[in-house]
Structures are given as C-alpha cells and as structure tokens.
Amino acid sequence: MDAGIIGLFVMILVWDTGAQLLLKLGLAAHGELPVYAWSPMAAYLKTIATEPLIWLALVFLILAFLTWLAIIARVELSKAHPATSFSYVTVTIASAVFLNESLNLTKVAGLFLIVLGVFLIA
C-alpha cells in the first residue's frame, strides 16, 4: 500500500475520531435524548441544532465520507472496510485522553485484538 493510501486512511481516522469527540462534547450540556415521546425529542433536536460542536462534527463526518469515497475508489473494498475498525481504537484512546474516560487493561487487550484482526483480514 502506497503512502497516499495510508494518508487517506489516517485522514478518515482523524475525521471520524474527531467527529465522535465533537458529538460527545456537543451533547454534554444538553443531557440525554428523550426517546419516549415525539414532542420532547423534537425540542431536544431543536436545541442541539444550535450547538456549534454538533455542526463541526457534521463537517467532520462529511469529510470522512468524502475521504472514504477516495479510499474505495483506490482500494479493494474487502481490504478497505476492515481497516475502518481502527476507529474503535482511535476513539477509545482519544476518549481516554480528551474526555477522561477509563482505559483499563481489558480495553487495551480488546484494542490489540481489533488491530490484530484487521491485519489478519486485510
């Protein structure tokens, strides 16, 4: 795999991981989504629609989508898609670093297995 393809994979991981962190941070001040009734859900969605971090996350998701199109135009899908599992690793580590979420030995072992699995598939 050439450096350009590797660069695209790094980019999609950055966009996706960034989007997940931004979504989490953007929702933090608004509480949980009320899924029990339409009216409170609509009010909640209206509230978060004014949250800048949510909009920035949407931009990151669009950039991830465009990067994904560039990847699958160049790489076999059966090799490209498993590599997206690296986002489990990057989101878990970034959540520990930036959101102070727990990262214990069990999680690290799981992350190692994900990486190993991607290398075995791709």
* Model confidence pLDDT, tens digit, residues 23-32: 999 999 888 8
Token duo for residue 71: 């990847």
Cα separation, 122 vs 33, in Å, equals 37
Question: Which residues does 24 contact at the CB level (< 8 Å), separation at least 6?
Answer: 95, 99
Tell the residue number behind the tokens 């598939």, with chain if given: 121
pTM over cut 0.85: yes
At residue 122, the pLDDT reads 76
Low-confidence ranges of the chain (pLDDT < 70): none
